[in-house]
Amino acid sequence: MERLSAVVIAQNEENNIAECIRSLSFADEVLMCDGGSTDRTVEIAKELGSTVLHRDFDGFANQKNFIIDQAKGPWILSLDADERVTPELRSEIQTLLSSEAAVRVDGYRIPRKNYFGERWVRRGGWWPDYNLRLFLKDTGQFVQRQVHESVNVDGRVETLKEAIEHRTYQDLEDFIARMNRYSSLAAQQGFDDGKRLKPGDLTLRPLLAFLKMFIVRSGILDGSMGFQLAVMHAIYTYSKYAKLKELYLNMSE
């Protein structure tokens, strides 16, 4: 089997990190980059055999690229602290890396099961949510963005069948707090990119965001949860553009 390095970034994730690292126990090494936790995140990770390195947080992609650089294996499996490798995905990866097929591929997209509380959200565009997370160290790197950073692989990419579990939102309060943070990051990214507001960004876009998730992507079939998530997505969309407008107004003062 090709040597596999599992890498994780975390900060104050004591409620998630144990399950994440346990799910990576099949890797040849597990490395965690901690951005400055004040809870038991580092202690738990070390107890479970992970190598923990500290780096002051200055962006998700920078943290991930730093810990990738420390890895010894040719293959990288990158997870966030609130993600887990399922037993089925573990078996698929082990089989893949022990075969000659892996030699001809540089990276693999993996479907991701996103959960709201204890419910797997199957509709509204939340599934299969492919993310490129398994790749050769020499060909892959995270592209820096304020939010929604992703891996860029120079080479051939294929898709795995089994999924990562993403225990992202514990409840509505957690969802709202994260959406507030993410909308601020997205607004800053738009500002950094020189993106300008267009007519309808504050009015039409939120409505279209709701309709796309609830109707076009069948969120309506998830009942009240689907409606709730679509409403929150519309609020997130409005907040993102309202905060972008605010950044430009502050610049002109």
Question: pLDDT digits over 163-211, tens only?
Answer: 999 998 888 898 999 999 999 999 999 999 999 999 999 999 999 999 9
Q: Say whether pLDDT at 101 is over 70.
A: no
pLDDT of residue 1: 60
pLDDT of residue 149: 82
Q: Given the DSSP bridges, would you call strands 83-85 and 164-169 parallel, antiparallel or unpaired?
A: antiparallel
What are the Cα distances from residue 62, in Å, to 6, 132, 139, 147?
Answer: 17, 17, 16, 12
As assigned by CATH, the class of the 4-168 domain is alpha beta
pLDDT of residue 124: 97
Average pLDDT, the chain: 94
Largest CA-CA distance found in the chain, in angstroms, rounded: 61
Question: pLDDT digits over 122-149, tens only?
Answer: 999 999 999 999 999 999 999 987 777 8
CA distance linking residue 13 with residue 64, whole number of Å? 16
Q: Say whether pLDDT at 226 is over 70.
A: yes
> Which H or E run contains 157?
strand 157-159
Domain boundaries, the chain: 4-168, 171-252
Which two tokens mark 12?
């104050």
